[in-house]
Chains A and B, each alone.
Chain A
Amino acid sequence: MQGIINGCIRKERSSQFLLYKEFYSYGMAICRRYALSDADAADILNDGFLKVFTHIERYDPAKPFKAWMARIMTNTAIDHYRMNLKFSMHDDVTSHEDIGDMAAVYDQLAYKDLLVMVQGLSPAYRTVFNLFAIDGYSHEEIAELLDISVGTSKSNLFKARQKLQEKLTHHNASTIENHHIQLKYR
C-alpha cells in the first residue's frame, strides 16, 4: 500500500490507477449517499480522487488511509451541494425523538432500496442524516462543517428521519401489496 502511495506522490499514472481501483467501491459508496444520483456520485468521486492525488503527500501513513480518504470524499460531496443546502428550522424536534424506533422490522431491506430513499431526500436533509446517522459526526461538528446552528442540524435530522420513515412505510405497503398479488395469481 505504501508503495502505491509513494508512486502517487511521484505522479505515476500506474500507481494512481491502482489506488483508484482499490478504493473505488469504498469511495463510491460514500459519494452515492450524498449524491442526488449515481451520475452525480461518479462526478463527486472523481473530484474527490483528484484532491487525493493532488494532496497525497499530506497523508500521514500512521493513520488509516480509508479515514483520510472518507473525510475528503465527504467534504467534496458537501462542497458539491453546498449551494443547494437550504436548511429549514422546526421547533417540535424533541416531541418526535422516537421516530425510527419501529424501523427494526425493515432490517432486511436491500442496499439499493435504502440508497434510493436517502438519495430522494433534499440535499439539506440528506447531508445532515448522512453525517450524523452513518458517518458518526456530532451535531456540533455538523454545525461547524455546514456553517449552521446546532438547532438547525437537529431539526434537519428530525425531518430527514421523518421523510425516511414515510418512505419505509410506503415501501412496506408496496411490498406487502406485491406479495399479496403474487400469492393471488400463484
Chain B
Amino acid sequence: MGKENDLDRLFKRGLDDPEIPFNEVDWKRMERKLDGKKSRKVIPLWLISLSGIAAVLAIVMLWVFNQPELIGQQNVRVQQGAKFGTQAAGRESQSDTAVAGLDGSALPERIEEKLPVGGGRLLTNQGSGLTKKGRKQASEGSLLAKAEKLLAKKADMGFLSRDAAAGQAKVGMQNDPGALPDYLKPGLYTEIKRDIESMNGQVAGNTETARLKDKSATIASDSEILAQKANALANSKDPLERLNTGGMTREMKKGMEKMLRPDANLILTAMAAPDITTAKSSMSSKISSNFGVLGTYVLSPKFSLTSGAVYSRKFYNSGGTAPAVNSYTSGADWEVKADCNVLDIPVNVNYTLLHKKRLSVRVNTGLSSYFMLKEKYEFITGQPGPDQEISTLEVNNQNKHLFGVANVSLSFDHQLTQSLSVGVQPFAKLPLTGIGNGDVNLKSAGVSFSLNIGLFPAKKPGKYAANRFSSRPSF
C-alpha cells in the first residue's frame, strides 16, 4: 500500500498547485476576521461574565446603603407607635433627657427640634449606641417628654410658669396612675397645639415656617386621632373597657411588627434547570442544561427584582428538505445539529400571587440578554452512510442579543428555615429577535430547581420573614 499507484499519481499531478485567481472578497473577509479578533480583545469574555456578578453586587449595595435610613425611620415610627403604649420604666429618665434640651438657651433654636418628630431624631442620635430594648423604653417614655417639652415651651414663652408646666405634666399620672394623663386629653392638647402654632408665627417668620407647620399638622393629626381614642375610652361608661389595655397592646404589637419590617432584603439563589430548546422545523433534541447564580432584591411584599448570570448549554436539531432551486443540495434532506454555550443575563420582575405559611406562588416576567459564547453547527445533507455530506461551523463570541429573549415563569417555593427555601419553577423563554449565527427562533421551556438563601435575615421572625425569603429569584 505504501507505493504510489497510478490513481494516486493522477490526482497528485492534477491537483498539485493549480493557479487559482486571487479573490478580493476572501481578503475582505480575512480583514473582518483580523478586525474581529481585535475587537474581541476589547470586550473580553470575563467582562461579560462580570456584568452578571456586578448586577448582583449592585443589588447588595442598594440594600446596604438603604439600611441606615431604614433604622432611622424605624426609630421614629417606634416613638410614634409608643403613643399606643404604656408609660413604663424609663419614662422618668427619658423625660429628663428630653427636658434637658429645653432650657432657656434652646429657645432661639428651631422649635422643630422640640416637637415630637424632632424629639425622635434627638433620641435617634443620642440613642445610637443603645440596645433595641433601651430604644424601646426610651420611646415609651417619649410621649411624656413631649408633653413636658410643650408645657416647658409654653412656660418659656410666658404662657405658663415652668414649675407649673412640669407639675401639670405629671400631676395626673402621680395622683392616679391608672387614669389617662392630662396631656392625652383633647382639650389640653388642642390648647398646647394652638400655642405652639402661635409661637411658630412669632419665632420662625422665615422659610422654615411652612415645613414646621406641615410637621406640626402631621403630628397634630396623629395626636388628635390618639386623643379622640383616649377621650372615648376616658368617657366610656364601661369600666372594663376603660381598663382594657389588651386591645391597645395588640394594636401596638401589630404596629411594631409593621414598623420593624424592613422594606427590602436580598436573596441569593443557586439554580439548575434542564430544558428543551427548539428552533423552527425542530426535530427531537437532547436536553439542554442551565446553571446559575441569581440575586433577588425584595422591593415590597408583592414585588421583587431578580438578576444574575446563568450559563446554558443549548442543544437543538433543525431539519427539512432543501428547495429544488438550491443547486448544491437540490431536494436533499438536510439537518442542522446545534450545540451552543450561552451566558444568559436575566432581569425579571416577580409578583407574589399567593403566600401561605410555608408555600408561596409567584409569577415572574422579564427579559434576558444572551451572550453566545460558543456556537457549533453541524450541517448534514443526504442519507446516513459514508456518502453523507457533513460540514461544520464554529463561531465564538460573535453574537450577543441584549434583552432579546422574554422570560415567563411561575415559581413555587417551600420555606425550610427562616432564611432557607427551595423552589421549583416551570419556565419558558421566547425570543424577541433571531438568536445565534442563523438568527433562529430559539425557544426554551423547562423546569428550574433552586436553593435560596436569605443573606440578611429578618429582624423579627414571623410570617413576613417567611414571605420575604420565599420571594425566590426567577430565572
Inter-subunit contact B389/A133 (CB<8 Å): no
- Render A70-91 as a binary contact track against B, CB cut-off 8 A, 1 for contact: 0000000000110110101000
Kindly state whether residue B22 has any CB partner on chain A within 8 Å: yes
Residues of B within 8 A of A (CB): 1-2, 4-23, 26-27, 29-31, 33-34, 37, 328, 376, 378, 386-393
Taking CB atoms, residues of chain B closer than 8 Å to A129 are: 11
Kindly state whether residue A29 has any CB partner on chain B within 8 Å: yes
Inter-subunit contact B37/A50 (CB<8 Å): yes
Inter-subunit contact A17/B27 (CB<8 Å): yes
Closest A-B pairs by Cβ, 6 of them = A100-B7, A133-B8, A84-B390, A103-B7, A114-B14, A103-B6
Q: Measured between alpha carbons, how far is A134 from B23 in the docked complex, in Å?
A: 25
Q: Measured between alpha carbons, how far is A17 from B26 in the docked complex, in Å?
A: 11
Inter-subunit contact B16/A134 (CB<8 Å): yes
Min Cβ gap B253→A in Å is: 68
Contact of B11 among A17, A37, A86, A133 (CB under 8 A): A133
Inter-subunit contact A24/B1 (CB<8 Å): no
Total A-B Cβ pairs within 8 A: 134
Given A100-B8, A101-B5, A164-B11: A26 and B17 within 8 A (CB)? yes
Inter-subunit contact A101/B12 (CB<8 Å): no
Chain A residue with Cβ nearest B37: A50
Chain A, range 97-145, C-beta contacts under 8 Å to B: 97-104, 106-107, 109-111, 114-115, 118, 122-125, 129, 132-134, 138-139
Inter-subunit contact B15/A111 (CB<8 Å): yes
Q: Measured between alpha carbons, how far is A111 from B12 in the docked complex, in Å?
A: 10
Kindly state whether residue A46 has any CB partner on chain B within 8 Å: yes
Taking CB atoms, residues of chain A closer than 8 Å to B6 are: 100-104
Q: Measured between alpha carbons, how far is A3 from B203 in the docked complex, in Å?
A: 90
Taking CB atoms, residues of chain B closer than 8 Å to A177 are: none
Inter-subunit contact A106/B10 (CB<8 Å): yes
Chain B residue with Cβ nearest A97: B1
Instruction: Determine the interface band of chain A, counting residues with CB < 8 A from chain B.
Output: 35 or more
Inter-subunit contact A21/B22 (CB<8 Å): yes
Min Cβ gap A42→B in Å is: 5
Taking CB atoms, residues of chain A closer than 8 Å to B29 are: 42, 46
A-B contacts, 11 listed (Cβ < 8 Å): A24-B26, A25-B19, A43-B393, A83-B378, A88-B386, A102-B6, A103-B10, A133-B11, A134-B15, A157-B1, A158-B1
Given A29-B15, A42-B26: A109 and B10 within 8 A (CB)? yes
Q: Measured between alpha carbons, how far is A71 from B393 in the docked complex, in Å?
A: 21
* Seed contacts A100-B6, A122-B389; 13 additional CB < 8 Å A-B pairs: A21-B27, A24-B22, A25-B19, A28-B20, A37-B391, A47-B33, A50-B33, A80-B392, A83-B390, A100-B8, A103-B5, A103-B7, A122-B387
Taking CB atoms, residues of chain B closer than 8 Å to A122 are: 386-389
Inter-subunit contact A20/B30 (CB<8 Å): yes
Inter-subunit contact A36/B389 (CB<8 Å): yes
Chain A residue with Cβ nearest B389: A36
Taking CB atoms, residues of chain A closer than 8 Å to B388 are: 122
Kindly state whether residue A57 has any CB partner on chain B within 8 Å: no
Min Cβ gap B381→A in Å is: 9
Q: Measured between alpha carbons, how far is A45 from B386 in the docked complex, in Å?
A: 25
Inter-subunit contact A118/B22 (CB<8 Å): no
Taking CB atoms, residues of chain B closer than 8 Å to A13 are: 31, 34
Q: Measured between alpha carbons, how far is A115 from B13 in the docked complex, in Å?
A: 12
Chain A, range 26-50, C-beta contacts under 8 Å to B: 26, 28-29, 32-33, 36-37, 40, 42-43, 45-47, 49-50
